[in-house]
Structure 1
Amino acid sequence: MSKHFQVLVIGGGTAGIMVSSMLKRKNSSLQIGIIEPAETHYYQPAWTLVGANTYDFDATAKPMSSLIPNGVEWIKEFADTFDPENNKVITKNDSEFTYDYLVVAPGLKIAPNLVEGLAEAMDKGVICSNYTNPKHTLEVLQNFKGGTALFTQPATPIKCGGAPQKIMYLADEFFAKAGVRKKTDIIFAMPGNVIFAVKKVAKTLMEVIDKKDINVRFYHKLVKVDAKEQIAWYEIIKEASGNDCVVIKSDDLDVVDKEIQYNYKDVKAIEKDGLIGIYFDMMHLAPPQQAPDFIRNSPLVTENGWLSVDAGTMQHKKHSNIFGIGDVCELPTAKTGAAIRKQTPVVVANILQLIEENNLANKTYDGYSSCPLITGYGKMVLAEFDYSKEFKPDPKLKQFPLMIGDSSKEHWRLWILKKYMLPYLYWNKMMKGHEV
């Protein structure tokens, strides 16, 4: 099979559908094709709520066919090879598609193979992840009877950087309702040295950490999971601040390095071969993530294996008729649906301007992203920021009555936004190509 499109889009996720819909909305005569093999489209931001038993998993799914915009051709195949010099994409079925403009939006892939033992352990027994199977997360929470509840974040970029801790805050209250919180130590192990990159939001989250009595372990890079013994092995990626400072206590005289441990809990842990092993009774993790293989093996990526795009225009740095959007791009901001919401109008404006006048539009992306940080049932903080990593609320969201007040603080109004308003905006506005 061979066919030419004015605009070819790779990916039928949030970015691919939104950019296709907006292009069609603004120029209905465009010939657009979407390469996407999946039959189902998921609203993944709700999977945290599914894992905590406050959202129906089935409500997060819709048939892909119902979201492909009218007049856009759905190519139900796997993209495989890029030939940018000849404006061509080849699929796994050896179909060839040429284009005037290409939008690369395949998202990212879960890569458990980057942590030893994780691929075999994922979504089995007491090891769970909302990123892959939120229904199993709920089963793990329901079966938990106390002990060490370990939550962990990987060292790779991930979609929705706040998700590894959202489920932890909900689990704290879930355990309290189940009567097992008092015999539970909650541990959050992460490779970074701050709970969140935006200082104003980090201050609120550390107050939540204090209130919920959670032990945060900074500089912990997950390198191995022993599912049989229920041990998570971490490399400590910071030198201890002194000879008398340790990561885990062997006796009462040991002084724990406070830059590594916040609110230390004396859970069962061991040291072996330069690694720290934490025993767990349940473990939730965000698995490592990376760009899909066909992207990483293409001529379009940076040395880190992500799509190479200009941070303002979203145009590929080498090929002027290729644009990237969404999680696959290497950009110094968080990978979220909110980022896609702001990137899409920029990509659409630039493609339309190139078609009409052979130059770029004056719209640029400022790095805006947001993380709806659920801090409990009925409570949420909304972290909004741009490339500066400063707290910067979106004026458009501020028009909603629910957004009155300081969204860097916990509030029930923000929970209503997360659970009800954002899904509505997603299905009825973003997926239909409206600028929101």
Structure 2
Amino acid sequence: MKSALYLCLLLLGLQAQGPHGSKLNDEEQEQEKLHSPQDHSQAEGEHLPHTKIAPSNSNFAFRFYKQVREEAGNKNIFFSPLSISTAFAMLSLGARSNTLRQLHKGLAFNLTEREEQEIHEGFQHVLQLLNDPHRDVQLNMGNALFIDGRLQLLEKFLRDVTKFYYSEAISSDFQNSPEAVKEINKYIETKTHSKIVDLVKSLDPETVMVLVNYIFFKGSWERPFSNLATREDDFFLDTKNSVKVKMMHQSKDFNIHRDEKLSCWVVEMPYKGNVTSLFVLPDEGAMKQVEDALLKETVSNWMESLKKRKIYLDLPKFSISGSYDVKNLFEKMGVTEVFSDQADLSGVAENSLLKVSKAIHKAAVDVRENGTEAAAVTVIEVTLYSIEIPPPPHISFNKPFLMIIIDKITNSILFLGKIVNPASKED
């Protein structure tokens, strides 16, 4: 029987607008030393490592989204494609033969175009840039391996996961399963700032290693909403049903694009710190058409077509989460061997037959005016107005819409989601 490898792909995406400028704590100072960022002035260079893997990561993001959509039905969707691809890319360091080929194909990497070394160097660079503590956005991403004493990792695997993925290696006693579960959950809770707790319920008796990837994001809108303008309004789930939501309002210049071919509005809402979000509002009945067209090229076209224009914008406040069985989704995408008794993970450990028994992913997002519910700041903005011909478009996200959060420095899709009911918090 093969020993089990448990992948916990963990994420908290807190899309919010909280205060900045607090002192780095000891852990953050350690992260700063560990992830010394490259010169950002080079970020546009086509030959930088992170630029080489960005197209594959985008392709994977939209392929995975379409697989999730098949099972989600009429539920909210929210996940981090970058968290999932980083975790499986790290695991691929120990994969061999057909298991490795399936992982590369599943992650949308073509080894005729990209050498294996370049893939890992790309992720290494992404981690360096995302964890730069000097950015105007709180963005942390990291990896950890919890390793049982029964497993003797190969020196090369340990060296590579540390070098390319900055992974922590933590000794754990999986013979004492309750304590191991407690230890893993405590790590997750700490890294996600107490937003994800008690995620791992139990461990398979054969488990000898747990791989954890986490990403945490907290950003401030470049143009925050005034909480004085937020009011209760209708969000239409479909043509017959609606729910009451807190709707935020702004009337300002935004980068927008009207895609007539796909029948949708695209509104860019940037954060401070080189992270931006695209909110995509399909016309009535056009959601499937827009989802089917979700490709790297489509999003690139939207980004290039954005034009600054004054609009009346309505956007609901919402807090939603999503939990996914990545093993099940990957198997449907053709990545099967790594989860089976045919798995070849011989590059991970000595004298151990390993397979992945579970792979789970959880994500959460919180969208609001300024990100801090306890804030006691009130801003009243008084502006001149003029009658414009034609009048600004009124773009109201009062029906199902898509949301894409993009890190502009690494050109990575951090989060991807569909909000069909902002009043539904649970996944």
TM-score where L is the length of structure 2: 0.23
Which structure has the highest strand share of the two?
2
User: More relative contact order in 1 or in 2 (CA 8 Å, sep 6+)?
Assistant: 2
TM-score where L is the length of structure 1: 0.22
